[in-house]
């Protein structure tokens, strides 16, 4: 850690502040040396003093004046780049936890404070800070739609192939359709180790071993993690394991492309949360557009920014009956990209188990995928520059 972290305790009750300090001393050998410790009775004191809150872990009791406190948290979070907030409350309802996390807190601890719960929260935040600092430029791109057969896998596969070819950097392609995914079929691969094995072993593998364990696509820099062969094994994979896999892969890969599938559960939400870009796939027909609208509503609820979501129209044909502007109006999101309808090339590619550019590099769909990959790569680079320099 480059700079010493400030640890700010905001709690009206002295007794409660003392308990926190007590637990801190039981968690760290010498916490007063590790952090700059400060405490105050109300968050308004912080705001009033105009205190510099960069590089701070803020522990704040929101049992009283919850709404007001959450508003202040939101504002502080917006104004401060490196602040990690843990909220505490004696009203530990699911609604309260969700509200608090949505306002920008990283963790929630119920009161009266249980030592292990408090320690877990602090450790999670410290891990997050460590990961932030060692964060590579790796970007996670997901394909998603809550409708089947819309082209999620085709897009994930062809995009990953193009990104690897274009950048020559390491790209991981993950099949999160944990039951009967078809990424490996689309690339005619027979991975020796699938998601279940990686989930259980990733922590014990060195980077070299990891790359040997993953299935490399031909001689390219694309590596594939397929769905488990055995459906029972799929159920054993947890959301925490998905998080762990992605966090670890980020250290080695430049891009991670995830075929998320149609399921919405804790595993897919973890992957969506961690994605830098979600390609929300739609085709131009009414039921698909309605589902896309519902997906957008879900993403809004999850607090995703509009920038994180890119609406992609697949199997697009000129002179569609429904106009692009109509779709944009319904979905409340601009169309980011259109992939042409080319059934013949696409079907040949799938049947041969190759990307479309291997069937015919001159086909409109192959050229389109190349341009799409390059647009995404440019966008992510620009986003990184803005993040670092603004
Ligand atoms: N641009 C395209 N032009 C024509 N056909 C396409 C195009 N993209 C995908 N398809 C076809 O649509 C079908 C479904 O594609 P794909 O399997 O990628 O969708 P999916 O959303 O992943 O489906 P599932 O929900 O079953 O996982 C395939 O048969 C594929 O050939
Ligand atoms: Mg699919």
Measured in whole angstroms, the distance separating CA 47 from the mean position of its chain's CA atoms is 31
Tell me the pLDDT band of 46, cut-offs 50, 70 and 90.
Answer: confident
Q: Is the pLDDT of residue 62 over 70?
A: yes
Query: What is the Å distance from ligand 2's center to 162 Cα?
Result: 18
pLDDT at 140: 97
pLDDT greater at residue 272 or residue 208: 272
Kindly state if the Cβ of 343 falls inside 6 Å of ligand 1. Answer: yes
Tell me the pLDDT band of 385, cut-offs 50, 70 and 90.
Answer: low
pLDDT at 232: 86
Query: What is the Å distance from ligand 1's center to 153 Cα?
Result: 7
Kindly state if the Cβ of 288 falls inside 6 Å of ligand 1. Answer: no
- 67: how many CB neighbours lie within 10 A of its CB? 10
Domains of the chain, with CATH numbers?
A: 5-133 (3.40.50.2300), 139-389 (3.40.50.300)
pLDDT at 226: 94
Q: What is the pLDDT of residues 108-129, one digit of tens each?
A: 999 999 999 999 999 989 887 7
Kindly state if the Cβ of 180 falls inside 6 Å of ligand 1. Answer: no
Query: What is the Å distance from ligand 1's center to 197 Cα?
Result: 28
Kindly state if the Cβ of 153 falls inside 6 Å of ligand 1. Answer: yes
Kindly state if the Cβ of 55 falls inside 6 Å of ligand 1. Answer: no
Q: What is the pLDDT of residues 50-60, one digit of tens each?
A: 567 888 999 99
Q: Are strands 35-40 and 5-10 parallel, antiparallel or unpaired?
A: parallel
Query: What is the Å distance from ligand 2's center to 253 Cα?
Result: 23
Kindly state if the Cβ of 149 falls inside 6 Å of ligand 1. Answer: yes
Q: For a pocket test of ligand 1, which of 142, 143, 154, 320 has the largest count of ligand atoms closer than 8 A to its C-beta?
A: 154
When the pLDDT of each residue in the chain is averaged and rounded to a whole number, the result is 90
Query: What is the Å distance from ligand 1's center to 231 Cα?
Result: 23
Q: Are residues 158 and 342 in contact, defined by beta-carbon separation less than 8 angstroms?
A: no
Q: What is the pLDDT of residues 339-380, one digit of tens each?
A: 999 999 999 999 999 999 999 999 999 999 999 999 998 888
Q: What is the pLDDT of residues 221-259, one digit of tens each?
A: 999 999 998 888 888 999 999 999 999 999 899 999 999
Q: Is the pLDDT of residue 146 over 80?
A: yes
Q: Is the pLDDT of residue 389 over 50?
A: no
Kindly state if the Cβ of 350 falls inside 6 Å of ligand 1. Answer: yes
**pTM for the whole thing?**
0.70
Q: Give all strands (DSSP E) within the chain, no chain letters.
A: 5-10, 35-40, 56-61, 83-89, 107-110, 139-144, 171-175, 215-216, 222-225, 255-261, 277-283, 309-316, 335-340
- Closest ligand relative to 175 C-alpha: 2
Ligand 1 atom closest to 343 (CA) = 4
Residue with CA closest to ligand 1 atom 9: 151
pLDDT at 390: 40
Query: What is the Å distance from ligand 2's center to 182 Cα?
Result: 6
Kindly state if the Cβ of 154 falls inside 6 Å of ligand 1. Answer: yes
Tell me the pLDDT band of 45, cut-offs 50, 70 and 90.
Answer: confident
Return the residue matching tokens 């104004």. 79
- Closest ligand relative to 281 C-alpha: 1
Return the residue matching tokens 């995404």. 376
Going across the sheet that includes 83-89, the strands are 35-40, 5-10, 56-61, 83-89, 107-110
pLDDT at 386: 54
Average pLDDT, stretch 27-49? 82
Average pLDDT, stretch 66-82? 86
What is the torsional sign of CA 178, 179, 184, 190? positive
Query: What is the Å distance from ligand 2's center to 169 Cα?
Result: 25
Q: What is the pLDDT of residues 88-115, one digit of tens each?
A: 999 989 888 888 887 888 899 999 999 9
pLDDT at 360: 98
Residue with CA closest to ligand 1 atom 12: 151
pLDDT at 261: 83
Between CA 332 and CA 327 the distance in angstroms is: 8
Between CA 109 and CA 97 the distance in angstroms is: 9
Between CA 296 and CA 290 the distance in angstroms is: 10
- Closest ligand relative to 312 C-alpha: 1
The crossing angle, in degrees rounded to 10, of helices 115-133 and 14-27 is 60
């Amino acid at each position: 850690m480059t700079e010493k972290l400030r640890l700010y305790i905001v709690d009206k009750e002295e007794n409660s502040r003392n308990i926190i300090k007590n637990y801190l001393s039981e968690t760290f050998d010498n916490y007063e040396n590790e952090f700059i410790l400060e405490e105050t009775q109300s968050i308004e004191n912080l705001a009033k003093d105009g205190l510099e809150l960069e590089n701070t872990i803020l522990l704040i009791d929101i049992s009283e004046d919850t709404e007001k406190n959450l508003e202040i948290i939101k504002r502080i979070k917006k104004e401060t780049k490196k602040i990690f907030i843990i909220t505490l409350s004696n009203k530990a309802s699911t609604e309260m936890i969700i509200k608090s996390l949505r306002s920008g807190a990283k963790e929630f601890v119920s009161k009266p404070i249980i030592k292990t719960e408090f320690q877990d929260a602090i450790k999670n935040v410290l891990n997050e800070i460590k990961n932030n600092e060692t964060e590579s430029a790796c970007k996670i791109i997901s394909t998603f739609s809550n409708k089947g057969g819309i082209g999620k896998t085709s897009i994930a596969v062809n995009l990953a192939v193009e990104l690897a070819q274009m950048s020559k950097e390491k790209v991981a392609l993950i099949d999160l359709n944990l039951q009967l995914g078809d990424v490996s079929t689309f690339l005619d691969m027979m991975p020796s180790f699938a998601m279940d094995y990686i989930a259980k072993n990733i922590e014990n593998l060195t980077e070299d071993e990891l790359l040997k364990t993953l299935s490399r696509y031909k001689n390219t820099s694309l590596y594939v993690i397929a769905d488990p062969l055995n459906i029972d094994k799929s159920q054993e994979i947890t959301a925490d394991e998905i998080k762990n896999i992605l966090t670890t892969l980020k250290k080695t890969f430049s891009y991670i492309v995830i075929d998320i599938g149609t399921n919405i559960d804790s595993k897919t939400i973890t992957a969506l949360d961690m994605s830098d870009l979600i390609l929300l796939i739609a085709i131009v027909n009414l039921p698909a557009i309605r589902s896309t609208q519902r997906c957008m509503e879900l993403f809004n609820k999850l607090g995703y920014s509009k920038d994180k979501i890119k609406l992609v129209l697949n199997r697009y044909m000129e002179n569609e009956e429904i106009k692009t502007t109509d779709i944009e109006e319904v979905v409340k999101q601009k169309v980011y990209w259109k992939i042409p309808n080319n059934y013949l090339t696409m079907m040949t590619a799938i049947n041969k188990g190759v990307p479309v550019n291997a069937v015919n590099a001159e086909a409109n769909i192959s050229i389109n995928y190349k341009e799409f990959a390059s647009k995404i790569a440019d966008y992510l680079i620009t986003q990184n520059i803005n993040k670092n320099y603004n």
